[in-house]
Chain A
Amino acid sequence: MNLTLKIWRQAGPDAKGSMETYPVSDISPDMSFLEMIDVLNDQLVRDGKDPVAFDHDCREGICGMCSMYINGEAHGPGRGVTTCQLHMRSFSDGETIYIEPWRAAAFPIIKDLVTDRGAFDRIIQAGGYVSVNTSGNTQDANALPIPKDNADKAFDAATCIGCGACVATCKNSSAMLFTSAKVSQLALLPQGEPEAARRVQRMVAQMDEEGFGNCTNTGACEVECPKGISLENIARMNREFLKAQFTSEK
Chain B
Amino acid sequence: MSKSAILKSSLAKKYWMGFTGLFLCVFLLGHLAGNLQLFMTGVEGQFQFNEYAKFMTTNPAVKILSYVTYISILFHAIDGLILTIRNAKARPQKYAYNKPSANSTWASRNMGVLGTVLLAFIVTHMTNFWAKMHFSEVPFMTADPEGKILEEPLKDLHTIVMQFFNPAENSMALVAVILYVVSMIAIGFHLSHGFQSGFQSLGFKNEKYKSIIDLSGKAFSIVVPLLFAIIPIYLYVIQVM
> Is the pair B197, A173 in contact by a Cβ cutoff of 8 Å?
no
A-B contact count (CB 8 A): 142
> Is the pair B203, A236 in contact by a Cβ cutoff of 8 Å?
yes
> Is the pair A169, B94 in contact by a Cβ cutoff of 8 Å?
no
Q: 8 closest A-B pairs (Cβ-Cβ)?
A: A72-B99, A213-B90, A239-B203, A172-B87, A223-B103, A238-B203, A98-B97, A173-B90
Smallest CB–CB gap between A37 and chain B, Å?
17
Count of A interface residues, CB-CB < 8 Å: 53
> Counting chain A CB atoms within 10 Å of each CB, which of B9, B86, B95 scores highest?
B95
What residues of chain A lie closer than 8 Å to B109, measured between beta carbons?
171, 218
> Is the pair A216, B9 in contact by a Cβ cutoff of 8 Å?
no
What residues of chain A lie closer than 8 Å to B207, measured between beta carbons?
232
Bound complex: CA A217 to CA B83 (Å): 13
Smallest CB–CB gap between A241 and chain B, Å?
5
What residues of chain B lie closer than 8 Å to A6, measured between beta carbons?
96-97
Nearest neighbor of A225 in chain B, beta-carbon distance: B103
Smallest CB–CB gap between A16 and chain B, Å?
11
> Is the pair A235, B99 in contact by a Cβ cutoff of 8 Å?
no
B123 at the interface (CB under 8 A from A): no
Q: Which B residues fall within an 8 A CB radius of A? A: 1, 5-6, 9-11, 13-15, 83, 86-87, 89-100, 102-105, 108-109, 111, 193, 196-197, 200-207, 210
Q: Contacts A73-B99, A202-B1, A223-B102: A217 and B87 contacting too (C-beta < 8 A)?
A: no
Bound complex: CA A202 to CA B36 (Å): 49
> Counting chain A CB atoms within 10 Å of each CB, which of B9, B94, B99, B103 scores highest?
B103
List 8 extra interface pairs beyond A205-B1, A219-B108, CB under 8 A: A6-B96, A19-B96, A105-B91, A220-B104, A223-B103, A224-B103, A232-B210, A237-B203
Nearest neighbor of A18 in chain B, beta-carbon distance: B96
> Is the pair B90, A218 in contact by a Cβ cutoff of 8 Å?
no
Nearest neighbor of B11 in chain A, beta-carbon distance: A241
Smallest CB–CB gap between B41 and chain A, Å?
43
> Is the pair B11, A100 in contact by a Cβ cutoff of 8 Å?
no
Bound complex: CA A244 to CA B91 (Å): 29
